[in-house]
Amino acid sequence: MNTSDPGERAPREFRVSYSTGQPARSDQPLNNTFGLTGEGKLVLDHGALVFEGTRSGFTLTGKPRIALADVANVDYNAASSAFLIRTRDGRHYIIVWLASREDAEALWAQLPQEKTPEFIADQAAHERFGKAMSELGGRSLVTPAIIAINVAVFIVMLFAGADLMNPNPAVHIRFGSNFGPLTWTGEEWRLLTSAFLHFGLVHIALNMYALYQGGGLVERLFGSTRFAVIYLLSALSGSVASGCWDPLRNSAGASGAIFGVYGALLAFLAVRRVDIPPTMLKSISSSALLFCLYSLVIGAAHPLIDNACHIGGLLGGFVSGVILARPFTPEARAVPQPVKLLVAVLVVVLPLAWLAQPLTAESGSKSASLRFERDLQTFDQAEAEIVHRQADILTFPPNARVNRLEIAQRLRREVLDPWRAASRPLLQATTLPQDGSHSSRKQQAIRDYLRARESAIELRALAYESGDLNDEARAIQAEQQLGKTLNVVNVLARE
């Protein structure tokens, strides 16, 4: 054993590489904490390790330096001549590959080989965790299945008319997006189907990447069945939260469920922290929290991002994760616990039902507003066709002979009667409280517009039938009034 003082040795240089191979530990995704890449040198100089190299293509000023006295818990892989060098306090680490086996053995002989008690305990925890992962076996099945379903639905929607990059509200509503006026008036299934729809390529790419990054681990921690329950409960929680925050919003995407996946991960780390190696616990917790906080901040800065859905999904996933977390051992997995699954469903679903009650209560003003918006959605489809038909009837070739009586009859039969039938549900709907809200003003403006167009059609038919100039003047006046009411509707639509 060499007992000489390392500080008295002459400096020695080793050619090393900082950027080949893989990290020695799963909790260390980078090769070093100094940003060193490519080829470089390790200099053993006066009791310290000095690392020379480049970072992002630029030469470092102030070479990273670690005193040998601060080095502990070194890993040496003789087969690849690689070292994982750590500081005693765990703040820094660096992986280096030496140019030759001889250099590696020479460096190993001069490095401290102490293993701290904390490190030994962490290694044992890693071994236990790895053994449990191996004994549980298999791969995550639900996560790739969910990704495949989302991608398949996205492709089908493209063939149905959805744009590759931009939202197409009509197509998304048809496929089951969370559109409040339909969701809360009898189509509650949209609360789940909306989690499998996406508004363009960027939307689905970001969501599926986030699910791929976290879903596999969370599925292994909880088991596939529990993971599927957590995912669906999170999707449901996100959709309900979105509807409660903005009942008229047209929402879609897997992000609420994905936030729930990360919420469940945080719950497992909190409830079953003894099952996770300490360094892995710290790394995963930090990554999960950073993902959630960063995503919520970005969502707060962009009004088109549905942060209510994100928060609802996160809470739903965390709550269900707390209930469904169990020891990460094959023995615990072997015991079925259907009661816990039922408890998780009830604990999440019952509060959601209570939150949604104002949106579904028949006598409530919110419910009345949603039913009016639902009828308006149906009416919009009929309106375009009726207005187009009127334009066709009143369009004549130059110098064509016009049968005024036939035109009047067609206007009444093909335009006026369908218009009355289409507008009847909106005119007969529950009148919203006249409190100056946007919904009440919108309802009144639309009703004024419906009556104005009905009057304009009726008077235009009468003018063609009678040929009287007074009737023509009344028809023109009614059409001018129609234009004014339509302008009011358009202004309110932009608010």
Q: Which residues are catalytic?
A: 255, 310
The two tokens of residue 432 are 């919203």
Token digits of residue 330: 């094959």
The closest alpha carbon to 44, from 5, 75, 7, 87, belongs to 7
To 10 degrees, what angle do helices 438-466 and 469-494 make?
A: 160
Q: Phi/psi at 53 (nearest 5 deg)?
A: 175, -165
The strand pair at 82-87 and 93-98 is best described as: antiparallel
243, containing H or E segment:
helix 224-245
CA distance 97 to 78: 10
CB contact at 8 A, 251 and 194: yes
Question: 78: exposed, middle or buried (C-beta count within 10 Å: 0-12, 13-18, 19+)?
Answer: exposed
Residue from 60, 28, 72, 66 nearest 44 by CA: 66
The helix or strand, by DSSP H or E, that contains position 54, with its residue range, turns out to be strand 48-55
Closest to 64 measured CA to CA, from 24, 28, 92: 92
**Closest to 34 (Cα-Cα) out of 7, 58, 12, 13:** 58
**For residue 346, what is the enclosing H or E element?**
helix 338-360
CB 352 within 8 A of CB 261: no
Q: Determine contact, residues 253/306, Cβ cutoff 8 Å.
A: yes
Place of tokens 């709907």: 429
Instruction: Tell me how far apart the alpha carbons of residues 67 and 62 are, in angstroms, rounded to a whole number.
Output: 15
Q: Are strands 82-87 and 65-67 parallel, antiparallel or unpaired?
A: unpaired
Residue with tokens 């070093």: 32
What's the CA gap between 329 and 254, in Å, rounded?
30
Classify 139 as helix, strand or coil. coil
Distance, in Å, from the CA atom of 246 to the CA atom of 251, rounded to the nearest integer, reads 10
Nearest 5°: the CA angle 111, 113, 115 is 140
Q: Which of 202, 314, 206, 196 is nearest to 251 (CA)?
A: 196
- Tally Cβ neighbours within 10 Å of residue 127: 11
Q: What is the DSSP string of 288-302?
A: HHHHHHHHHHHHHH-
| 8 Å CB contact between 49 and 16 | no
